[in-house]
Amino acid sequence: MRFDDVAQAVGRTPLVRLPRLSPPGRTIHLKLEGHNPTGSVKDRVAATLVREAERAGHLRPGRRVLEPTSGNTGIALAAICRVRGYPLTCVMPENTSEERRRVLEMLGASIVLSPATEGSNGSVRVARELAAADPDLFMPFQYGNPANPLAHHESTAPEIIADLPDVTAFVGGLGTGGTVTGVGKRLKRWNPDVRVYAAEPEYGDLVYGLRNLDEGYVPEVLDLEVLDGRIKVDSLRALEMTRRLVGEEGIFAGVSTGAAVAVAVRVADRLPEGAQIVALSPDGGWKYLSTGAYDPGDVRVIAERISGTLWA
């Protein structure tokens, strides 16, 4: 495959059967989004956010991009913005890992820190303030931008349909809601009987303790109507499945992948004999090596030790 630049080389990721983790009579397949150019599913989102903004006239030469993100979206946007010629600023909590900052800076992004105590909500607040004060700044804001689910509607889902026309169920993680909303709607348009399940990370008291119920947040791009179930997965079960994936299937994936596969296994027995289930792996395991998630030892002890930073 040849492409003109990195922005063109997004998608067409492998769909791999998990013969050892699939329950009897059901088949689980894993879509490996870590095979995208910057190593995550967010390459699809970043490419579509920028393309749609250019199409709508929000982005043109001379403008700059700003996004509250310390994770995969920032890295993906940094690569796309670099080749499209837009300076990028990422707003992130001050306790974000050194590795992430280094990768973003390497790709040419500048970084603004928000208070650690405010978590990702604080990054959103600071980014909104900066964007409001500077008319040359464009904030794609993946949590509220329809281009986010659109990316999955027009690329992720059609790839699944092409590779597995008799798909019966899809499982995606719940972050912005873009994946389950975009993929889910397109798969249900293909076949209304397709079931769509969300794997929701259970962050643990450290994260929830900072949240006030009155300022809770449901992303605008998440359409709860498309779901047939939403199942929470705690650090231990996500970690167990992530480690089984690498140990039994030879797939080195991030912890969100373990959560999605755990939900795929759980819903498998409520689906008919012969069901073909697709779970989405948002990224590979490399970025999480330093968390200790893959260290030898008792998984319960490891889960306990790192549950505060696992999903961050």
Residues near another protein, by CB under 8 A: 42, 69-73, 92, 96, 100, 120, 142-143, 174-176, 200-203, 205, 207-209, 211-219, 224, 227-233, 311-312
83 neighbors 190 (Cβ within 8 angstroms):
no
Q: How many residues does the chain have?
A: 312
Closest by CA to 152, choosing from 287, 278, 17, is 278
Closest by CA to 178, choosing from 287, 304, 258, 69, is 69
The one-letter code for the residue type at 157 is: A
116 neighbors 42 (Cβ within 8 angstroms):
no
- C-beta closer to another protein: residue 92 or 302: 92
Q: Which conformational region is residue 85 in: left (phi greater than 0), alpha (psi within -120 to 50 degrees), or beta? A: left
- C-beta closer to another protein: residue 7 or 198: 198
SS3 255: helix
What's the count of helices (H) and strands (E) in the chain, helices before strands?
A: 11, 10
| Token digits of residue 35 | 């095979």
Q: What's the min distance (Å) between Cβ of 203 and another protein?
A: 6
- C-beta closer to another protein: residue 3 or 217: 217
Q: What's the min distance (Å) between Cβ of 2 and another protein?
A: 31
Q: What's the min distance (Å) between Cβ of 188 and another protein?
A: 15
Beta strands across the sheet bearing 88-93: 110-114, 88-93, 64-68, 137-138
Is 256 catalytic? The answer is yes
Q: Which of 120, 256, 281, 307 is catalytic?
A: 256
| Token digits of residue 289 | 């090596």
- C-beta closer to another protein: residue 58 or 230: 230
Q: What's the min distance (Å) between Cβ of 40 and another protein?
A: 9
| Token digits of residue 223 | 């359409």
- C-beta closer to another protein: residue 89 or 249: 89
Q: Which of 22, 31, 40, 42 is catalytic?
A: 42
Give catalytic residue positions.
Answer: 42, 256
